[in-house]
A and B are shown apart, each in its own frame.
Chain A
Amino acid sequence: MTISNWWPLALLVCIPIIILLYMLKQKAQEYPFSSSMLWKEIFNNIEATKPWEKLKKNLLMILQILTILLLIVALMAPYLKRGGRRYDNVVLVIDTSASMGIRYNEDHTRLEEAVERAVDYIDSLSETSQVTILTADQEAQIVKTNVTDKAELKKALRGLQVTDLSGDASVAVSVVQSMTSQWEQYQAVFMTDTSMELGNLDAQVMNLYTDYQNLSMDYVSYGTEYDEAGNASMTVIGKITNDTDQDVTTDVNLYGDDTLLMVQSVVIPAGGSQTVYFSQVNFTGSVLMAEINRKDDLEADNRAYTVVREEGQKRVLLVTDDNMFLEKAVMNIPWVDLYKTSQLSAVGKSEEYDLYIFDGKLPETLPEQGNILYVNPGSWGDIVQAETLSNVSVAFTDTELTRYIAGDSFGVTAGKAYERPIWADGFLTSGSSCLGYYGETAGRRVAVLGFDIHQSDLALQADFPILISNLMDYMMVSGMVSEDYYATGDKIVFNGNINGSDLTVQDPNGVSSVLAAAAATNAYTDTDQAGVYTVSQTVNGEERQEKFVVRFPVEQESHQDGETAVSNETKNEEAQTLSGGRELRNLVILILLFALAVEWFVYVRQH
């Protein structure tokens, strides 16, 4: 047993005071009487039963001393330890990743079960135990720090919600390690549904993994085909995985903008996956959702979304005198319609293009809209030439423009190095010189190649068409959203028009966030929830709105492997119970109240 407070021992001084008061009180008064004969008879009887009679005589004093002692003990807050450990400092880490939403039993999900066990454990702690609560999914977050108020702790625990994020409690190990390094004695408990490595950390893992029955809608996608008459035909496909031990037949509902479009029945083999097809889908809206029409142990992964984008070719204007390499490379991209001119005066006069390629030429004014690719420009506007290079080897750095070709190099007989603007990233280097960069500025995407393709051997390499394809992919994005799909927890940077209003992002719950229009300064991180998000911006009085999907992490959270989720250590039954202790103060107070009642009773009887 441990004692929380030692100061109440100072109240022991009250006991000799009580004894002294009784001794003073017992100063006898003179009582003249005719004869002491009969009194001596009864006095002898009292003497004969001396111990009991003396006790009865001083029973009130004894009861009052007992009351003081019980009060002192109650104030000292005694605590009965279990397991021989002191728990002055306790750290609870609760896994709130998506898999904790899987049903644990008929009453609780895994998270709810973890919360209830944590609440029970907190009730068993002493009043002076300081508790820290963290949640863990993709990263660790501190919920409460060094709190002794049990009501506050329990309220915080009951307020925890499962997220759609992937991850587990292991992300909190380093945080807990640094936290506990300052304490001599502590208990750390991780409540999760997967095995985890604790390293050097002395902690207990409470594994809440249980076998479960689940179907997951892994993804949904669509394709559009055009017949000879140019009529579009949409096909929607979805993939379903069966994490049960039996073959399952289920209906899959296809919704378009919340309207039910089609229903398909599908048979998914036990432990396997199946693709469901929806053909001839007549839909012209923006969001498709496929949903498994069946209840299981994890319902958050029973639906998947996709956003239908506007179809159509991209228009590219090549402003060049002659560049067959570039022309051929761009024309090979099927969704690009290439237009060529040698007249700068034609730029921005009548038609608009998605991309302008200025090959060795610089316009007087840039078109109002459209992205720009400069090939071998001199200093102009933001483009600042730093030096001229001759006969250098140029390498591709690792960027999104250099997918599949990063690290490769080629020779340039004459090239230009530039001062890279603050909004740009370099993707071509020669030593410390930057011969190519890309980025977003003034509401458009810009890329610069610092050499004439004819004066390099790049066009002779397989890297050239790949580079052009990557460039086209990057440059052809005309919307605010770069990708169609994101994963929960992803950080999203939007391509807002810098001349427009701030961006407004609305999550699936309808909660809005406002971000700056400049891509360099906006980063949306509230992607904890799977579903369809909307980003909007007002440009020149016209509102532009785009949707994007944040996907549920089915691979990490829906398809748990039971063998690896539960290690041999955590299968031990004893590891599933938390050893706390028992606060004895309330018991002592009950005894104290009983003693007071007895004292009152004795006092009334005597008087």
Chain B
Amino acid sequence: MAEKLFESDFFVKLNQLAIASNARMNHGMSGGRKSNLKGSSVEFSDYREYIPGDDIRRIDWGAYGRFDKLYIKRFMEEKEGVYQIFIDTSKSMDYGEPKKSRTALQLAGALAYLVLNNLDRVYISEMQESSLTQGKGRAGKQAFQSILTELERISFDGKTNLNKAITARQYQGSGVSVIISDFLDEKGIEEALKYLRYKKQEIVLIHILARQEIDIEGEGMVNLLDIETGEEVRLSLNRSSIEQYRKALEAMETRMRVLARKYELTYIRMVADEPLEKFLYDHVCNQGLIIRK
């Protein structure tokens, strides 16, 4: 990627957002995230207000009697959150106007920025063919530039095998796994989701599609060339076949949503020509992955 991924004012807008996660961290270095582990040095970190979902056994009833509000007394050791951002770098992502690949990188960069701002750790992984190329884990705001450089170096080529790529890695501890892909993999992704769930990952699927994949244009006989596999499909583009494609695409999204319910994960669909900040504000915030400050 030669061109710049972000405009300079983009991060000004991003600073209004923060990562929001209820993931229980039991691994990782010290970070800004509270861990539920009882560590060797228990540091009293003051009360914090009770948030729905917190363990009610930890409610400080004395504080409640005094303040008439629910507080949790925290004696836990603070742990950093670990975020895995998986980017599908197969050739099919290099399609569209604007290209899905660019959008994916922008999204990955934006999420990485938010994670680093939250004093959490982020890993950027490239999924290509059956392999996974994981970058160094980075934390701290100063690591963002190197992440950006890493993102800009990513090329999109090869075929897709998300299951094999994701299950190729071992994961230690819980965390959040964000998979950015077009999910155009005939073998699907369920195996990878099972694996990540087994590995106590909170999963977010961001499904990127190009506008040209949603609104098909053209008519007549075409030799449809799969840019990833090189396969050719000869068919007649007409109202009927386009309608059938649209239904197939809807069915695919439905399958993804079914998987999301089944594995209690977050599924967000994104169109590549949608403005990133709008996507983050409208969709990602709504899903609870990030919050406004």
Which A residues lie at the B interface, using CB under 8 A?
Answer: 25-43, 45-46, 56-57, 605-607
Contact = CB atoms under 8 A, between A and B. Distances in A.
A34 B233 contact: no
A38 B245 contact: yes
B248 interface: yes
A255 B96 CA distance: 111
B236 A57 contact: yes
Given A31-B218, A33-B225, A34-B96, A46 B235 contact: yes
Interface string B124-157: 0000000000000000000000000000000000
A39 B224 contact: yes
A34 B104 CA distance: 15
Given A34-B92, A34-B96, A43 B235 contact: yes
Contacts of B232: 36
Interface in B230-245: 231-241, 244-245
A31 B224 contact: yes
Contact of A39 (B93, B95, B182, B233): B233
Contact of A40 (B95, B233, B236, B237): B233
Given A37-B186, A39-B233, A43-B233, A30 B223 contact: yes
A43 B232 CA distance: 12
A233 B97 CA distance: 128
**Central interface residue in A31, A40, A56, A606, by most chain B CB within 10 Å:** A31
A26 B227 CA distance: 23
A28 B227 CA distance: 17
20 contacts: A26-B221, A28-B223, A31-B222, A31-B223, A32-B95, A33-B226, A34-B96, A34-B226, A35-B228, A35-B229, A39-B235, A40-B233, A42-B247, A42-B248, A43-B233, A43-B235, A45-B244, A46-B241, A57-B236, A606-B239
Nearest to B219: A607
Interface in B82-113: 92-93, 95-96, 100
A46 B240 CA distance: 10
Given A41-B248, A42-B248, A31 B236 contact: no
9 nearest CB pairs, A to B: A34-B95, A36-B226, A35-B184, A31-B222, A28-B221, A42-B244, A34-B92, A38-B248, A28-B223
Interface size band for B: 35 or more
B216 to A, nearest CB: 9
A120 to B, nearest CB: 52
B241 A42 contact: yes
A406 to B, nearest CB: 103
Contacts of B92: 34-35
A42 B245 contact: yes
A71 B100 CA distance: 55
B210 A34 contact: yes
A41 B251 CA distance: 11
A35 B225 CA distance: 8
Contacts of A26: 220-221
A27 B234 CA distance: 10
B1 interface: no
Contacts of A37: 184-186
B56 interface: no
**Central interface residue in A30, A34, A57, by most chain B CB within 10 Å:** A34
Contacts of B252: 38
Contacts of A41: 248
Given A33-B95, A34-B210, A46-B235, A28 B245 contact: no
Given A33-B95, A45-B244, A46-B241, A38 B249 contact: yes
A607 B185 CA distance: 33
Contacts of B233: 36, 39-40, 43
A223 B140 CA distance: 155
**Central interface residue in A32, A39, A46, A606, by most chain B CB within 10 Å:** A39
A57 B240 CA distance: 10
B54 interface: no
B231 A36 contact: yes
Contact of B213 (A25, A34, A46): A34
B74 to A, nearest CB: 48
A607 B220 CA distance: 10
Contacts of A36: 224, 226, 229, 231-233
Nearest to A57: B236
Given A28-B222, A39-B235, A34 B241 contact: no
Contacts of A27: 221
Contacts of A31: 218, 222-225, 237
Nearest to A31: B222
A31 B244 CA distance: 17
Contacts of B247: 42
B90 to A, nearest CB: 9
A559 B57 CA distance: 134
Contacts of B213: 33-34
Nearest to A58: B236
Contacts of A42: 241, 244-245, 247-248
A577 to B, nearest CB: 55
A149 B269 CA distance: 76
Contacts of B182: 34-35
Contacts of B185: 37
Nearest to A607: B219
Contacts of B96: 34
A200 B203 CA distance: 107
Contacts of A28: 220-223, 234
